[in-house]
Amino acid sequence: MISQIFILSSKGDHLIYKDFRGEASKDSINVFYEMVTALSGDQPPVVMTHKDHHFIHVRQGGLYWVASTKTNPSPFTIIEFLNRLAALTKDYCGSLSEKSVRMNFALIYELLDEMVDFGYIQTTSTDILKNFIQTEAVSSKPFSLFDLSNVGLFGAETQQSKVAPSVAASRPIMSSRGEQGGKNEIFVDVIERLSVVIGSNGVLMKADIQGEIRIKCFLPTCSEMRIGLNEELNIGKSQLKGYSSAVRVDECRFHQAVKLDEFDNFRILKVCPSQGEQTVMQYQLCDELPCAPPFQLFPSVEKDYVNRVLIFLKLRCDLPPKSTALNVSITVPVPKGSVSMSQELSSPDQTAELQPKSKALLWEIPRFPGGAQLSALFKVDVPGLSSASLLEVGPVSMSFELPKQTCTGLQIRFLRLSPTQTGLSQRWVRYVTHSDSYTIRI
């Protein structure tokens, strides 16, 4: 049972405080803030205890979302709930920031009142909540081009033309009530996260894809939406037959509102999206990539003079020629004693630097077209270099974004609203693959 919920700014200011069970005092906010700021890096921050008081928190939008309890509840429930609370706040207030929370405190109190009663979670569904909520949201900057709150998710698209502007998806869902201000829009995003480990011999050792289909809906009423996936989508390990070019995932999970009666035969998801953001399907694929891994690295590490290591990296992008990888960054751990580095890069838009704190060199490439190959030479000065310290070079880790790409090959064939909505409704489908953990061993 949740005893208290509070939201703190990153500086520890009290933004929202609600006590549900009257069993703890307001001092616990300060206790929590002291504990969380005193935490060292290797201590798990997830659950913290002070006397018989337990704090569970998540960080979203630069804020601490904290629940405290005195009983033995499920931390899963509380973490899921806090994440949901943050998402709902974002849905209702348009964006998630200290400012938007401050401005909409009455609305958030109202939401909390409906979501939790005496510490029992009641509901987090926008459909149910909208029946109860009276307060109007106050939006900070209705249409600002500088709103970067969604960079993590939609950052890739800002570089693309013919894509909905990223800010379009960050406005309050309820603000259009009563007036005809907002557009009737619906966004469907297919987001995949890729983790890959490539061995020192270039062999793919491990590959995982975690994917999800996320909807953000601004339609005031929407009876039913049909999302058609690839017809040849296979689920499970055993079902793959022959050598068809089928798309396969190991396992998938659905939002409980999704109706699956046409899924088995036609791979159609039927859902009545409620306003706001929700994940309709999550899926994963383990131990297998339907395509080649997007990057191959050919490294060589040598001892040059007495105190210098030569690191030569050749990086090839194995995407189809028309696609491009964005924001590629490569991190190579270097020996502990490294003091300085010089580099030879193949184009001026790339950068490289030695980061003394993390003992690694960072090579960044803003755009990397498919099929291209780039190389770089780094000379690292290490006083007192021994042959053992060459072992400290590696493994290389990479991060990147692949816009308009899914690694599983999952596609959305169509998006139908039925019955057809009166008035114009815009539908957007976007794909993006992020690197979750891409490691290449040397």
Partner 1 sequence: MTDSKYFTTTKKGEIFELKAELNSDKKEKKKEAVKKVIASMTVGKDVSALFPDVVNCMQTDNLELKKLVYLYLMNYAKSQPDMAIMAVNTFVKDCEDPNPLIRALAVRTMGCIRVDKITEYLCEPLRKCLKDEDPYVRKTAAVCVAKLHDINAQLVEDQGFLDTLKDLISDSNPMVVANAVAALSEIAESHPNSNLLDLNPQTINKLLTALNECTEWGQIFILDCLANYTPRDDRESQSICERVTPRLSHANSAVVLSAVKVLMKFMEMLPKDLDYYGTLLKKLAPPLVTLLSAEPELQYVALRNINLIVQKRPEILKHEMKVFFVKYNDPIYVKLEKLDIMIRLASQANIAQVLAELKEYATEVDVDFVRKAVRAIGRCAIKVEQSAERCVSTLLDLIQTKVNYVVQEAIVVIKDIFRKYPNKYESVIATLCENLDSLDEPEARAAMIWIVGEYAERIDNADELLESFLEGFHDESTQVQLQLLTAIVKLFLKKPTETQELVQQVLSLATQDSDNPDLRDRGYIYWRLLSTDPVAAKEVVLAEKPLISEETDLIEPTLLEELICHIGTLASVYHKPPSAFVEGSRGVQHRRIPPRAGSVESAESPDVGQSGSSEAPPAVIPSQGDLLGDLLNLDLAPPTSTVPSVQPSMQMGAMDLLGGGLDSLLGGDIGGSPSMGAGLGAAPTVMPAALGGAPAVGGGLGDLFDLGGGVGMPTGFYVVPKTMWLPAMKAKGLEISGTFARRGGIIQMDMSLTNKAMSVMTDFAIQFNRNSFGMAPAGPLQVLTPLSPNQTIDVSLPLSTNGPVMKMEPLNNLQVAVKNNIDVFYFSCQFPLSLLFVEDGKMERQVFLATWKDIPNDNEAQFQIKDVHLNSDAASNKLQGSNIFTIAKRTVEGQDMLYQSIKLTNSIWVLAEMRVQTGNPNYTLSIKCRAPEVCQFVYQCYEMVLKN
Q: What is the rounded distance in angstroms from the CA atom of residue 74 to the CA atom of residue 56?
A: 10
Q: Which is nearer to partner 1, 14 or 413 (CB)?
A: 14
CB of 258 to partner 1, least distance (A): 9
CB of 128 to partner 1, least distance (A): 8
Query: Which bin fits 61, alpha (ψ -120 to 50), beta or left (φ > 0)?
Result: left
Q: What tokens appear for 231 in the block? A: 């017809």
CB of 435 to partner 1, least distance (A): 9
CB of 314 to partner 1, least distance (A): 21
Q: Which is nearer to partner 1, 115 or 402 (CB)?
A: 115
Q: Which is nearer to partner 1, 22 or 419 (CB)?
A: 22
| 7 Cβ neighbours under 8 A, 6+ residues apart | 15, 16, 17, 63, 64, 65, 66, 101, 108
> Within its chain, how far is the Cα of 143 from the centroid?
23
CB of 245 to partner 1, least distance (A): 25
Q: Which is nearer to partner 1, 124 or 166 (CB)?
A: 124
Q: Which is nearer to partner 1, 157 or 208 (CB)?
A: 208
Q: How many CA atoms lie within 13 A of 123 on its CB side?
A: 12
Q: Which is nearer to partner 1, 185 or 189 (CB)?
A: 189
Q: What is the rounded distance in angstroms from the CA atom of residue 96 to the CA atom of residue 94?
A: 7
* Length, in residues, of the chain: 442
CB of 264 to partner 1, least distance (A): 14
